[in-house]
Amino acid sequence: MSDLTRDQILHLAQLAHLNLTDEELDRVADELDQIVDSVARVQEVAHDEVPATSHPIPLENVFRADVVRGVLNRDDALAGAPETETGRFKVPAILPEDDR
């Protein structure tokens, strides 16, 4: 059991702007006790000989190598466009002219 008192839990609830009923306060007290106890158990095994980790297994880069390959030329890229203008895709304007 943790050493949190009912008054401390009520104070925490007020800091978090939570209006808890007595029933909710009892439930939250039990939940906080479990959380504090769990953290205390983890702290028991955490010491200098155990390295801190962010993942339980080592991570490896799974990206493929960056290889230069053939690319589309402009005419091929624009070939499927519904409209083009001066070598670019032409799309409907979404802003008024004076906002550009």
Q: HSE of 20 in the Cβ direction (CA atoms, 13 Å)?
A: 20
Give the confidence band of 52 by pLDDT, cuts at 50, 70, 90.
confident
**In the chain, what are the domains?**
6-45 (1.10.20)
Amino acid residing at 51: P
| Cα 95 → chain centroid | 33
Q: Show Cβ contacts of residue 4 under 8 Å, excluding neighbours closer than 6 positions.
A: 29, 32, 33, 36
Q: How confident is the model at residue 1 (pLDDT cuts 50, 70, 90)?
A: low
- Please count the residues of the chain: 100
pLDDT in tens, 84-93: 999 999 999 8
- Please state the φ and ψ torsions of residue 10, each to the nearest 5 degrees: -65, -40
Share of the chain above pLDDT 70, in %: 96
Q: What's the pLDDT at 11?
A: 92
| pTM, rounded to two decimals | 0.44
State pLDDT tens for residues 64-98. Answer: 888 888 888 999 999 999 999 999 999 998 988 77
